[in-house]
Amino acid sequence: MCGMSQPSNNRSPATPSARPDASMSLLTHVMDHSLDEGYAEASARREADGTAGLPRTLKAKLALAAGLVLAAMVVTLGAAQARVAAPVLAKERQELIDRVERADRHADTLERDIERLRTEVADRQSEALKQQGGRQAQLVALLSGATEVHGPGVKLVVDDAKGSASGGGGGPRESAGFSDTGRVRDRDMQRIVNGLWQSGAEAVSINGQRLTALSAIRAAGDAILVDNRPLVPPYEVLAVGDGKRLGTAFQDSVDGQYLHVLQESYGIRYSLSPVDEVKLPAASSLTVRTATAEEPKKGAS
């Protein structure tokens, strides 16, 4: 039919169909390039060094062995240095010991010289007193502690309570500044000495230290000091005088009763006994500041 149009034979070429995995290009790239470039480079470097075929455990063992060798070298070097320094240290230590021993010997020599000079001074002082003042000078020297004295007297030993220790505890003595610990205090020794003087003692010493009118009994912590010298219990108090009368007078005095209370209440131990012969040294801290000789009175026989 003329009037009917014929279908056109000019068709456009067909568009090629897309790949099925086109939408997964990122995953495809990852699969195609699964080996990291840095890892590949490191692997290639190991292959060039010839260590690529070694297992990891062997490498760790080699590193550990190298560390042990290094540690052994350090220890060996330290031991060698110690062996070298040991004789030097031993020599220095021995030199210090020798210096200390020499100093001790020198101190002992000085102590002996002091005692010898002290004895000479006491003898000359005694002779001078005899020449100048006679019996009155001797009595003054005796009472002042300038010369040693011996004669009958009493021996009083005072000691801490058994198992006593330093520290606070409470009790009647604490109100006066002393804790109830069963220890002898400086105030106790002061009262004991004053009681002996009051009872008629002519001379008193504590643990070999002669007491004078200038002596001080103090405390340094739990220690008792006499003229700044520490005492160690038991405390041995020696007093020159009429032994029996002095002992009885002291026990009947207020200070003797005080010592008895210390024994009954705090366990402080003491013993008092008369002695036929007591010897007390001269006071080492006594110093004669001035001395004048009296001229004999006219007409005195």
**Range with the lowest mean pLDDT among 34-48, 63-77, 221-235, 273-287?**
34-48
Cα–Cα distance, 41 to 63 (Å, whole number): 23
* Percentage of the chain exceeding pLDDT 70: 64
210 φ/ψ angles, rounded to the nearest 5 degrees: -75, 135
Question: In this structure, which amino acid lies at residue 107?
Answer: A
Whether the Cβ atoms of residue 288 and residue 146 lie closer than 8 Å to each other? yes
pLDDT of residue 197: 93
* Structure-token pair, residue 254: 């207020």
Choose from 49-58, 172-181, 187-196 the range with maximum mean pLDDT: 187-196
Instruction: Indicate the SS3 state at residue 32.
Output: helix
Task: Determine the average pLDDT of the residues in 62-79.
Answer: 83
CB neighbour list of residue 268: distance below 8 Å, 6 or more residues apart: 158, 159, 160, 161, 182, 183, 184, 188, 259, 262
**Range with the lowest mean pLDDT among 57-61, 154-158, 176-180?**
176-180
pLDDT of residue 118: 76
Whether the Cβ atoms of residue 148 and residue 282 lie closer than 8 Å to each other? yes
Cα–Cα distance, 208 to 280 (Å, whole number): 7
Cα–Cα distance, 158 to 262 (Å, whole number): 11
Statement: residue 45 has pLDDT above 80: no
Query: How many helices (DSSP H) and strands (DSSP E) are in the chain?
Result: 6, 8
Statement: residue 21 has pLDDT above 60: no
Question: In this structure, which amino acid lies at residue 109?
Answer: T
* Structure-token pair, residue 109: 């020599």
Beta bridge partners of 282: none
pLDDT of residue 174: 47
Residues in the chain: 301
Q: Are strands 269-280 and 149-159 parallel, antiparallel or unpaired?
A: antiparallel
Question: Higher-confidence residue: 284 or 186?
Answer: 186
